[in-house]
Structure 1
């Protein structure tokens, strides 16, 4: 087994994605490693195959040693995020007093939507998009309206404007749930694109709620723009956490942040919402934003290398699949429609992330590789799969090789 990862041995030579071997990863008890049989390589749910960042591990070890496992308190998390946002994104007017703790990003999204929309009101999403956008919005008794992405997988202003117009017909308080950066496509929205969103939202009276959970994961060649730094976004909200960038999904804590004209709305957030985050979660996320930058840089270099590796593997093993190079996240959106595999859409429709159909079902059955099934991401997702490349190069090579063999078998049997 690898030696414990401590702050003393952090160096540029250590890629977090190469620290853990497959036998060690299989000891994990999280959903990624226990949903499927042991012979399956899991490249589906958004968990990374990395050890904890030293700064986070040190903070948690100290808390456990002290028995510091009570209730969360204070603004250290927001202060750490504000400092990180200024350093990394140039967000110099981040205001701690316009933020509040929420249990996690999606629960925060729901609570913010409850502040600015009512039952039956419409929430616009850009499909294909993160499946819980459908499930959480629907369960909150709001109506989902899709604004499909364009052929380049970027937001389509014409589709967005039409969706905003339709949203106004269903209620007086529509909202737009923005995925920034976008999951599953890995698109990092440019400032000019976000300015267009803000202008359209203002014109149609739509409140914007930006899910920025992947914000620290803009890869080389892209720059993340916080939505609240865009002109015209003063009445919007952002939901942010360290969850994806530091692999902290099991340590619940996130922040809801309001623009200056949304501060009064955020102040109406029920006090009990801030009781949901875990104190250890707050400690972990605070340490990540405050002291986890060096580890994050190592991770980003490793993800960039894996992105390049994937770009060499796909033409060799899966030449029939189309691929749009992700600008951020650790997610690859693979177009498998050329395989001609029909997706039988389940009655539950989009948003049921555990459902497997179409190409994802074939890759699981034939290759023993678990991927996310594209149909659950909504309109435009059928025939696609989402691959999580936040793993070791060895696992990535083995998975894509297996997938290529499975496609060869499929095409041979179909012929």
Structure 2
């Protein structure tokens, strides 16, 4: 069984950086819009690096250890983390490979189990790069929309699996777990049902589990490869979301026991793509960054409750259900009468940058995605601006 996560003892990292400090950053979140805009959009967190991670990077730079990645330390760190946090002993290092990042890893996994023109099923509203990367690799995106409750609609999924399973190709299912943007944590029963349907209809499952460490108090992440029937699946894991390491890229691909031969066909040169410093940083995060992560998770729980209170008081027409996972909030703004793209309105009138729901596919129109991984002060200011702009 996964261990009980203790109350965090580290300082909440979401309360450590001022707006002035954040505006010195040169990454996408802080340089895409003018300085009068509050950026609560792309999945970067407003946190300092966890000290064990910063130390590992400093040590690598001091040594000039900036060559090509090698070894299995990253996979071993994931195996330890999965055992401690999720009670899962299923990561066998010999069934892993390092890949440049999760999305490029997904591309490589789909190359292994599908061919040009084949169907790749997704559950919209879902992470927009799923559409972009799949289409760019000459696969056909087929939607199986989530239900009104934000969970997998199994009647819809079975109908879609049945349709693509009749094709002459090799269909695949790109599972987002936990789900972005809704923050849904799929249950063990749901994932077992996915595996059963995939086996029945001959669909291969590739699971994006990048948000797995970012799960709210009271929720439990279940690895897809751990459920009955999940052994033919392939999973992508990375420390990048939980420890804010998108700029030092690395990820691990994990094969279930029945997919080991597929992963063995991964071209050797794919493993040259990850950043060696990224591998070092991610390994340090998984091995030594647990206290920092616990403090972050506590801060995110506080921010979810704060956002719910603020919206209830100032924008009650916006429907928001605090998510079980991720640091993202999926806001239903359809009752505001702002059209399909309320994010454009909030950017123009309130100077708050949010993600538009429309690129997330069917079910995204009229929604926005708000990044909760910032200070309570900036969340307060964002909601104040949004409410004033509609007042």
Q: Aligning the two structures, in what range does the TM-score lie when normalised by the shorter sequence? A: over 0.9
**Structure 2 match to 1:5:** none
> What is the match of residue 118 of structure 1?
115
Tell me if structure 1 keeps the 8 A contact 2:122–2:144.
Answer: yes
Q: Report the equivalent of 2:228.
A: 231
Q: What corresponds to 2:380 in structure 1? A: 397
Match of 1:21 in 2: 18
Aligned residues of 2:120 and 2:173 also touching (Cα < 8 A): yes
2:62 paired with 1:65 = yes
Query: What is the rounded CA distance, in whole Å, between the counterparts of 1:199 and 1:252 in structure 2?
Result: 33
TM normalised by structure 1 equals 0.91
Return the offset for 1:12: 2.2
Q: Does 1:309 align with 2:302?
A: no
1:326-377, CA deviations, whole angstroms, 9 ceiling, x for partnerless residues?
Answer: 001011100011122223xxxxxxxxxxxxxx20000000010000000000
Secondary structure of 2:207's match? strand
Question: Which residue pairs with 1:32 in the alignment?
Answer: 29
Query: 234, 239, 242: which is aligned to 1:242?
Result: 239
Structure 1 partner of 2:3: none
Mapping 1:129-278, distance limit 5 Å: 129-278=126-275
Question: Any conservation in 2 of the 1:122–1:168 contact (CA below 8 Å)?
Answer: no
Counterpart of 2:161 in 1: which secondary structure?
A: helix
Write the deviation string for residues 189-235 of structure 1: whole angstroms up to 9, x where unpaired.
11111111111111111100000000000101210000000000110
Q: What is the alpha-carbon distance in structure 1 between the residues aligned to residue 60 and residue 79 of structure 2?
A: 23
Question: Counterpart of 1:178 in 2: which secondary structure?
Answer: strand
CA displacement, residues 221-256 of structure 1 (integer Å, 9 cap, x when unaligned): 210000000000110000000000000000010000
Match for 2:74 among 71, 74, 77? 77
> Does 1:337 find its partner at 2:304?
no
Equivalent pair of 2:355/2:368 in contact (CA under 8 Å): yes
Partner Cα distance (1:359, 1:205) in 2:
40
Q: Helix, strand or coil: the match of 1:28?
A: coil
Q: 1:323 Cα deviation (Å)?
A: 1.2
CA RMSD for the aligned pairs?
A: 0.9
SS at match of 1:246: coil
Aligned equivalents of 2:165 and 2:225: distance in 1? 23
Per the alignment, residue 288 of structure 2 pairs with 291
Per-residue CA deviations over 1:135-183 (Å, capped at 9, x if unaligned) read 0000010000001000100011001111112222444310000000000
1:88-122 Cα distance to aligned partner (Å, 9 max, x none): 01111320000001000000000000000000100
Give, in whole Å, the separation in 2 of the partners of 1:330 and 1:72.
29
Name the count of aligned residue pairs.
384
The 8 Å contact of residues 120 and 171 in structure 1, kept in 2 or not, is answered as: no
SS in 2 for 1:243: coil
Matching residue of 1:46: 43
Give unmatched runs, 5+ long, in structure 2.
1-7
Aligned position for 2:279? 282
- 5+ residue gaps, structure 1, are 1-10, 344-357, 409-415
| Alignment TM-score, normalising by the size of structure 2 | 0.97
Deviation (angstroms), 1:13: 5.4
Structure 2 contact 305–322 (Cα < 8 Å) conserved: no
